[in-house]
A = this chain, B = another copy of it.
Amino acid sequence: MISKNIEGKLNSGLIRKMFEEGNRLKAIYGKENVYDFSIGNPDLEPPVEVIQALKDLTASPTAGMHGYMSNNGYLSTRTAVAEQLSSNCAVKIDPDSICMTVGAAGAMNAVFRAVLDPGEEVILLAPFFMEYVNYIDNHAGKAVIVPTEKDTFLPDMDAIKAAITPKTKAIVINSPNNPSGVLYPASVLFSINDLLKAQDHVIHVISDEPYRDLVYDGLQIPSAFDYIDNLIVCFSWSKSLSLPGERIGYTAVSPRHEDYDILCKAIVFSNRILGSVNAPALFQRVIEKSINAKVDVFNYENRRNMLYDVVTRAGFSCKKPDGALYLFVKSPEDDMVFCEKCAKHNLLLVPGSAFHCPGYFRLAFCVSEDTIIRSEKAFTAVGREYGLID
């Protein structure tokens, strides 16, 4: 007597299967002898600014600090967020365009609830974070999956154009991308806007940006606000402040959005009725006090380099990621079969099929340097098995 829709989903989930396989292997071989690259759980601790803000706020509690506030969050927090966003683009972001949310997952659900009616379509660019399909299905929408360009993983404008129908309500972009690590240059954002504005109805661009602050090699990430008009940004501090368990993020609507007023209201309302009501109060204040803090991005960059070297030395081919926490590597055979074989070497990877992009596998590099170093013998063994190296 549970929902048939949910019953059908319960046994899916390739990452979870990998996670369970990992636990099984760790029980047999010991934790240190299993190389688990399956989960993108940021392993750095939050920056000192965050830890200090938490100490300060809880050491001197103020009346009502754990009570309800407006459903969109504290004005002071939204003002800090709006100022930070405005400082990175040529557009002036208003605090009222921000709705504080329960992470980016909460943000995306609020947005889909706000914009979708049953049967309306959302374009996803494969490879993509597989939960998007669940988020869309929660609100009776239909995911329309469009592949990106081969090897570059950049959006294929012709393919997107061909996928647009009168029912297309939104497109999701995610840069730096999970799992490919690709960063969309300004020209790509410009082209997406151009294509969508040429349509005869509004198509929302939902920019999921949890990895926005994790960019390497000194690259600058262009602000979507500068290039896309009908834009809704979904952000989370899960990665940039290592706070995934605390569920704190936001939505931000571009002031250039054609439906700005009603859309801002609809998102706040949806955030309320979906049960978040508001983002956690204490962490809204923590964010306000540490708005410019960031985790040690060089640490992630270093581990990206280390794992990239390990994998390529073992003969695998991989585009070096510009950002995020993953390597997306070409699979020498069917990616599902390959990942199962790797598990026999105690090497836990996620097949590209989980991201609707077969022929690849994903490695999360937010693991200890020690794990990366010790994993080399396993990668080398697999590389030899497939004749990639001598």
Contacts and interface: CB of A to CB of B under 8 A. Distances in A.
Nearest to A1: B202
Interface in A232-274: 242-247, 258-259, 262-263, 265-266, 269-270, 273-274
B110 A275 contact: yes
A278 B118 CA distance: 27
A276 B106 contact: yes
Interface residues of A, number: 78
Contacts of A57: 58
Interface stretch (A41-49, A81-89, A305-313, A356-364): A41-49
A280 interface: yes
Given A67-B242, A245-B281, A265-B10, A109 B3 contact: no
B273 A135 contact: yes
A353 interface: no
Given A42-B67, A280-B246, A6 B270 contact: yes
Nearest to A56: B58
B266 A7 contact: yes
A58 B61 contact: no
A273 B247 CA distance: 13
A231 to B, nearest CB: 13
B277 A247 contact: yes
A127 interface: no
A147 B58 CA distance: 45
Contact of A258 (B1, B106, B107, B275): B1
B55 A59 contact: yes
Contacts of A66: 46, 242-246
Interface of A: 1-7, 9-10, 41-43, 45-46, 51, 54-55, 57-59, 61, 63-69, 101-103, 105-110, 113-118, 131, 134-135, 138-140, 169, 201-202, 204, 242-247, 258-259, 262-263, 265-266, 269-270, 273-283
